[in-house]
Amino acid sequence: LVDLKQKRVVPDNEIKAKIARRRPYRHWLRDNRIVLRGMFAPASSPSARPGELIRLQHAFGYTSEELKMILAPMAARGQEPVGSMGNDAALAVFSDRPQLLFSYFKQLFAQVTNPPIDPLREELVMSLESFVGREKNVLDETPGHYGGLKLYHPILTIEDLRRVRASSHPGLRAADIDILFPADGTGQDLEEALERVFSEAEQRIAEGYTILILTDRHVDEDHAPIPSLLAASGLHHHLIRKGLRNDAAIVLETGDAREVMHFALLIGYGTDAVCPYVAFKTVHDLAVSGMLGVDKSPEEAMDDYITAIKKGLLKTMSRMGISTIHSFFGSQIFEAIGISKEVVDRYFTATASRIGGIGLDEIAREASLRHRRGFPREGQPSRLLDPGGAYHERLGGEKHLWTTEAIYKLQQAVRTDDYALFKEYTRLIDDQSREHVTLRSLLKFKKREPVPLEEVEPVESIVKRFVSAAMSFGSISKEAHETIAIAMNRLGAKSNSGEGGEDPARYVLLPNGDSKRSAIKQIASGRFGVTTEYAINADELQIKIAQGAKPGEGGQLPGHKVTAEIARVRHTTPGVTLISPPPHHDIYSIEDLAQLIYDLKTVNPRARVSVKLVSEVGVGTIASGVAKANADMVLISGHDGGTGASPLSSIKHTGLPWELGLAETQQSLIQNRLRDRIRVQVDGQLKTGRDVAIAALLGAEEFGFGTAVLVTLGCVMMRKCHLNSCPVGVATQDPRLRARFAGKPEYVERFMRFIAQELREYMAELGFRTVDEMVGRADVLEPESLVDHWKASKVDLSPILQVPRNGNGKPALHATRRNEPRNDTPLEAELARLAEPALKHRKLVEISLPIRNVDRTVGARLSGEIVRLYGPEGLPDDTIRVHFTGSAGQSFGAFLAPGVTLRVSGDANDYLGKSMSGGRVIVVPPEGSTF
């Protein structure tokens, strides 16, 4: 700091010391902080009375599937449970079963700008600590500012909450407020109950209470619990509107919260701390009954359950780049999907909710249906919990797209080359007039003048728009990975390597002319297997910013799947779990992304560069930035995409349907006059020609298939990919199981051809002769008007069917040119000319050139050519020696190949030596410098 009055530079230590001694902060903290003895002691929970727990579990919507797949793993291992294969279950607003209000929200995440934080490697800056109580004006400094109760994390045990209630400290007075409404009540009854809660809260604050405990513990036959999220968020916003929010903390004692997303939502909508008393009693019961699979006391199980929640909260915060729980409080980093504007505006103010949905009447009905299972009008509740079915298809459970019958018909159709049987499969998937599962199930095609089928673009042309989704060698077996590549190459389509690198042996053609080479090479945050050889052997280089099944997180490959061969390809160690960081550490802005795109186009100018994003509100703005960063294609993935391994909370609760993200991307690109510069691709549970037709009409030119491709190869949706125990050899590295793999390239080829043929039939019916003609024609779609579902009928899809104008006449609806191909700079052209003897004849060359900071990615073009000519071994050491003088631009020495030595006398900018595959980079101060 420069003090202009004293005309001196003030040292850092002097400034800090002066501020620290300005007030007696240490004494204020010692004299005013609130300490409750025994808080956060080892967890304990009294066992429930006979019959009480099952009644509460029914009333709060617990299922046997949740106990087995969610609570038991959390209590047994202290970790979030991991799953695989994505989410093909119905959205909450389409479910016939009563859903928790939590299920109507999806978590948002950072993409490109303000990226996620890595909660593992950056643990030092992450914190769940907070203070609860009355908050003071942050602009004042008084002893009273230090009068809060310190919480090490926001999860309170039953005993912790008892201590808070019993506090006699004047700064910590707690009042209970029941969050109940009449059993079988209407939306009006629910609204009146909420108003009672709000009024009582105001009264308690006026009486001097600093902790408001919202509790549903007194639920009984006549009173059903108000959904805790509705009560807490509603009170939070009510107190904000009244100017009272800082006068008291909101603590929730509830029976419906049990998994990570539930706690994240409650905290994100203003709850300071949560005591999930039914979840605690359930964990206690699981431990006592021996259902955890490990020998663990109830107290140990509860501690591990809380630990799992804490880890999950840190990961949830990190997805949006938030490092402290204090910043997460009230942040509302969620989007509602299937909740009406009226409910959102009143109780979840300023939350994005683009398609409308249920109101208080439906919320009350769902709460009452759950309540009656626990408190039936006659007799006792069932001794068996509802089976669930949210994660696995179960008889009487949630609706899923991938049913046993659908899998059987698809596999038989591709094995027997039977298009008629394939049509039976697509009818099973598409016939959702009764069984709505996806947003596109509410859309229908308008009647238009048809054209003859023979005039429609041929199958051979359409399949070139198809890609197989990114699946790494490691997540799936070598046999499955190579079979997909062979099939897509035969079709002239593209397969995707995923983020696990690729064996160079696959770059060589097979004797019969087939190729096992993946046309698309993915560049993910871990950069596993990303070398110069990898980059130049690609028709497309895809920068993976996010993945549909777990946006805001890095890829994950369990150690038991990291064999010696996979470790060799990924340049890692066998048996060690591989977790890519959530952010690319060289991408913190659109400008950084533009630099990586520049790097990739430099090392491989023949490849196009794409960027993979995931659907969420605001993705259109990011996609426009991607276009301005000179990407050639942007991929919008849906929330329901598959995965080899991911936390179940991520699979179920992050990201949005691709229909929303694709429509927003198309509209944003048109409004910003960028649509003609960039192609748009979509993926996420695409299964039929109808899916592809709707995707095209909403703005996609290319289409990705992942799970469906694996099903054609034999996948039976066991959802065991992460356990390395796939029984059909598709997603395992176990040699014994891999021997069972029975897939053939022909099966994938037939599937792609069948999809293309069915798309042609829709095109003919709608009067389109080419796919380009139908791209972006959302005006050809309209909402289904015959929906009689008690919840789905409330959804309004009109926002995604708009075709915007940009003031430029008739806007372009699809790409018409490549996005500014990268050309050589004068320095690169000169470097290539002077290095020609080494490239052609392997002669030693020594070059001296000036360099400026506008000269970016110097050495990458030269290295790409060296590896293309001589392979990954490159040239002999020091064959090309280049001496630069000046200031090197970004990515100096990126993708450098063996045999090249780059020396700079001066300085270099960011990304020095990025993805080096050999060679040397030397940076020395200029002669005569004093540093």
- Mean pLDDT (the chain) is 93
Q: Can 52-100+152-374 and 404-801 be said to share one CATH topology?
A: yes
Q: What is the mean pLDDT of residues 551-557?
A: 85
DSSP state of 843: -
CB 575 within 8 A of CB 545: no
Q: What is the mean pLDDT of residues 298-302?
A: 93
Provide the residue ranges of all domains of the chain, joining segments of one domain with +.
52-100+152-374, 404-801, 826-924
Which segment, 20-29, 486-495, 804-813, is predicted with the most confidence on average?
486-495
Does the pLDDT at position 308 exceed 60?
yes
Strand partners for 357: 338
Distance CA 120, CA 318 (A): 10
Output the CA–CA distances (angstroms, integers) from residue 891 to 23, 113, 599, 717, 923, in the order listed: 48, 20, 7, 43, 13
The mean-pLDDT minimum among 1-5, 771-775, 882-886 falls in 1-5
Domain 52-100+152-374 has CATH 3.30.70.20: no
Domain 404-801 has CATH 3.40.50.10470: no
Can you give the C-alpha Rg of the chain in angstroms? 30
Strand partners for 543: 523, 611
pLDDT confidence bin for 85, thresholds 50/70/90 = confident
Distance CA 235, CA 168 (A): 25
Count of other CB atoms within 10 angstroms of residue 565: 14
User: What digits encode the pLDDT tens for the residues 417-448?
Assistant: 999 999 999 999 987 545 788 999 999 999 99
pLDDT confidence bin for 645, thresholds 50/70/90 = confident
Distance CA 254, CA 256 (A): 6
Does the pLDDT at position 380 exceed 70?
yes
User: What digits encode the pLDDT tens for the residues 798-856?
Assistant: 999 988 877 667 888 999 888 876 666 889 889 999 999 999 999 999 999 999 999 99
Q: Residue 13: what pLDDT?
A: 93
**DSSP characters over 322-346:** --BHHHHTT---EEESEE-HHHHHH
Q: Is 279 left (phi over 0), alpha (psi -120 to 50) or beta?
A: alpha
pTM: 0.94
Three-state SS sequence of 51-66: CHHHHHHHHCCCEHHH
CB 907 within 8 A of CB 887: yes
**DSSP characters over 851-918:** E-TT--STTHHHHHHHHHHH-TT-SSTTSEEEEEEEEE-TTTTTTPPTTEEEEEEEEE-SSTTTT--S
Quote the tokens at residue 313. Answer: 């909260």
Phi, psi of 520 (to 5 degrees): -105, 125
Distance CA 654, CA 317 (A): 12
Of 95, 166, 26, residue with least CA distance to 652: 95
Q: What is the mean pLDDT of residues 331-339?
A: 96
Which segment, 377-391, 397-411, 609-623, 794-808, is predicted with the most confidence on average?
609-623
Does the pLDDT at position 477 exceed 90?
yes
Helix axes 745-766, 404-416, angle to 10 degrees: 100
Q: What is the mean pLDDT of residues 724-748?
A: 94
The mean-pLDDT minimum among 264-268, 284-288, 384-388, 392-396 falls in 392-396
Structure-token match 């399949």, residue found: 463
Distance CA 593, CA 911 (A): 12
Q: Residue 45: what pLDDT?
A: 61
**DSSP characters over 54-97:** HHHHHHTT-BHHHIIIIIHHHHHHSS--EE-S---BPPGGG-SS
Alpha helix ranges (H) inside 681-727: 689-698, 707-712
Into which CATH architecture does domain 826-924 fall?
A: 3 Solenoid (2.160)
Q: Residue 43: what pLDDT?
A: 66
Of 595, 609, 612, 605, residue with least CA distance to 894: 595
DSSP state of 201: H
pLDDT confidence bin for 785, thresholds 50/70/90 = confident
pLDDT confidence bin for 46, thresholds 50/70/90 = low
Distance CA 110, CA 493 (A): 31
Does the pLDDT at position 47 exceed 70?
no
User: What digits encode the pLDDT tens for the residues 908-918?
Assistant: 999 999 999 99
Q: Residue 822: what pLDDT?
A: 64
Q: Residue 33: what pLDDT?
A: 80
CB 443 within 8 A of CB 784: yes
Output the CA–CA distances (angstroms, integers) from residue 553 to 109, 119, 578, in the order listed: 9, 10, 13
Distance CA 657, CA 90 (A): 11
Q: Residue 557: what pLDDT?
A: 86
Q: What is the enclosing helix (H) or strand (E) of 146?
A: none
In percent, the amount of the chain with pLDDT more than 90 equals 77
Distance CA 440, CA 528 (A): 36
Helix (H, G, I), strand (E, B) or coil at 670: helix
Of 449, 447, 445, residue with least CA distance to 767: 449
Does the pLDDT at position 501 exceed 70?
yes
Q: Residue 433: what pLDDT?
A: 47
